[in-house]
Homo-oligomer: A and B are copies of this chain.
């Protein structure tokens, strides 16, 4: 069961079928699919997720969402987020917004009112971290793909990213599952207290307008399936529609018995090259037309539970 959930998590192959796979007629043996490629990948091509960068969002009823943070892309904002988690700021707050084909967002329902929860010891204002100077430390791996929004796209330390080569800036992109920082009208108004997750077609027009701090690596379905809010911008207009946050914790602050040991595929690696080839060619069975391309936000970034 865990492995099936992995398949969902990384958005594997998965054709729209006339019938469940088990009921289709056996076909001639196809080229290896993504699951085969990952299953035969050497252990050395996987790296353990750092528990000090891994955030667990607990929505109750066994709904756990796991995010991996990107301090290299947004050091000050991620530092704030770590502090919010350590000081248990979000515990008891709520998912306040779920807008179809856009974002799901949490924070303090009492927002700017006198009843707002104290921000504790975090920095209440931060300079924006929408983008960074171009750098290959950590590595940027280019993806050969035409992109509507940027002249260069790829993977920056394993996260989907884009570059403005002439302007010498790079940034994490708003792909499905990206974790961004809600803000007000000014650039410095996003301190990390309200985070949102992309739940639809990747809204890349948000790139460089907000700070992206990471991505969901497991449990996305618990956020994406929440009822959509019927207020403006998908905010819940009835308090009882909100989902309460039981707690948000850093994995490193949880007992080992409550953590999952996760690993991600290294980029670059021979296996990742095979993943890209597979996605572009789609010679693994059901496909009749080879797409010949894979776009940035359709590229799988595999994460799995470590084999013991």
| Given A185-B24, A224-B224: A16 in contact with B286 (beta carbons within 8 A) | no
* A227 in contact with B228 (CB, 8 Å): no
Contact with B along A175-197 (1 / 0, CB 8 A): 11100111111010110011010
Give the contact-size bracket for chain A: 35 or more
| Given A18-B182, A100-B224, A184-B19: A148 in contact with B149 (beta carbons within 8 A) | no
Q: From the candidates B8, B24, B105, name the one contacting A234 in the complex (CB within 8 A).
A: B8
Chain B nearest Cβ from A60, distance in angstroms:
15
| Given A14-B99, A27-B185: A289 in contact with B130 (beta carbons within 8 A) | yes
Contact with B along A12-42 (1 / 0, CB 8 A): 0011111111111101000000000000000
**Dominant SS among interface residues on chain A:** loop
Asked whether any CB of chain B lies closer than 8 Å to the CB of A298, the reply is yes
* B200 in contact with A233 (CB, 8 Å): no
| Identical chains in the assembly | 2
Chain A residues near B (Cβ < 8 Å): 1, 4-5, 7-8, 11, 14-25, 27, 98-103, 105, 107, 111-112, 130, 145-149, 175-177, 180-185, 187, 189-190, 193-194, 196, 199-210, 220-221, 224-228, 230-235, 279, 282, 285-289, 291-298
Can you name 26 A-B residue pairings with CB atoms under 8 Å? A4-B230, A4-B231, A7-B232, A8-B228, A11-B200, A14-B99, A14-B233, A14-B234, A15-B210, A17-B105, A17-B182, A18-B194, A21-B232, A24-B184, A25-B184, A100-B221, A101-B177, A130-B288, A147-B148, A149-B292, A176-B200, A201-B202, A205-B291, A205-B294, A225-B225, A225-B227
